[in-house]
Amino acid sequence: MTLTSQLDELLIALRQTHARLLAPMDHQQLLLPTDPEIFVEDVLHYVMDEWRSDLLKEGHTLEEVTSWKDPVSHYPRFELRVNGGATLDLLFTGSYPETLFLHVGKTMANKNQFSDAQSVQVPLRVSNDPNALLFSILGGLKDLAKA
């Protein structure tokens, strides 16, 4: 299964997640939290939990790699097992609160290595609004799948 076809599989479930109404934005909380751990827990994990449930409906498994901890960026890493056996790394990186990127790549045998040869990077919007984050993931992956 090629990386492009795997990205298409991600998009199918992500479109389902996007189609469902996520939690409405609380406009009293427009400012980003100063603690990146709060952003990761309240926004990023919420979006990934919603996406996980839709991936599961398609026969895919998304799990957080709990052994991975980046004390600088605080962003998590996930492993996606695509129905059919392929495995992808989903790694969030960046410098909170300025930048956030999603790296999607083939999983290497050594869990602390990443494949640059078969990977893509999607710039994401850092926002308290889970819908904005979800929309930026969807838009970025959709643009890559077209290319």
Handedness of CA 37, 80, 123, 67 (dihedral sign): positive
Say yes or no to pLDDT of 18 above 80. Answer: no
Q: How much is the pTM? A: 0.82
Of the listed ranges 60-64, 107-111, 135-139, the one predicted with least confidence = 107-111
What is the average pLDDT score of the chain? 84
List the one residue out of 53, 50, 55 whose CA is nearest residue 9: 55
The CA distance from 52 to 73, in Å, is 22
CB 103 within 8 A of CB 3: no
**Domain boundaries of the chain, sorted by first residue:** 3-21+33-146
Phi/psi of residue 92, nearest 5 degrees: -95, 135
Tell me the mean pLDDT in the region 40-46. 92
The pLDDT confidence band at residue 74, using thresholds 50, 70 and 90, is: confident
Amino acid identity for residue 4 in this structure: T
Residue 109: pLDDT over 80:
no
What is the signed CA dihedral for 81, 65, 131, 134, rounded to 10 degrees?
-40
- How many CB atoms lie under 10 A from the CB of residue 34? 9
Whether residue 39 has pLDDT greater than 90 = yes
**Which spans in 20-98 are helix H?**
36-39, 45-57
